[in-house]
Amino acid sequence: MTLAFVAIAFFAIGFEIRRWWTIAMPVVLGALYLIVTTPPHAPFFGDTPVPFLVVLGTAATAAGILKRGRKIVHRTM
């Protein structure tokens, strides 16, 4: 359920915003999560699914951006 929520949320963000800088959002959110929740003496990733969620979020954001595409303006003469 979490995977579906993450994929749909980041797809919607990419679809709505349509800017390539939004691909950095999953990476930044994953880094903040690891900084806040990981104690200094723990192994870096341990048993957390955050790296997979970051990859999934990045791919879903890119898919949303590409799905929306560009607006084509037709000119009539």
On whether residue 54 sits in a domain, the answer given is yes
Query: Which range marks the domain in which residue 30 is found?
Result: 2-38+47-68
Contact present, 21 and 61 (Cβ < 8 Å): no
On whether residue 73 sits in a domain, the answer given is no
- 16-75 pLDDT tens trace: 887 888 888 888 888 888 788 777 776 665 666 877 888 888 899 888 888 876 666 666
Is the pLDDT higher at 2 or at 41? 2
Query: What pLDDT does 71 receive?
Result: 63
Residue 2 clears pLDDT 60, i.e. is over it = yes
- CA distance linking residue 50 with residue 18, whole number of Å: 24
Query: What pLDDT does 72 receive?
Result: 62
Supply the pTM of this predicted model: 0.71
Domain count, the chain: 1
On whether residue 75 sits in a domain, the answer given is no
On whether residue 12 sits in a domain, the answer given is yes
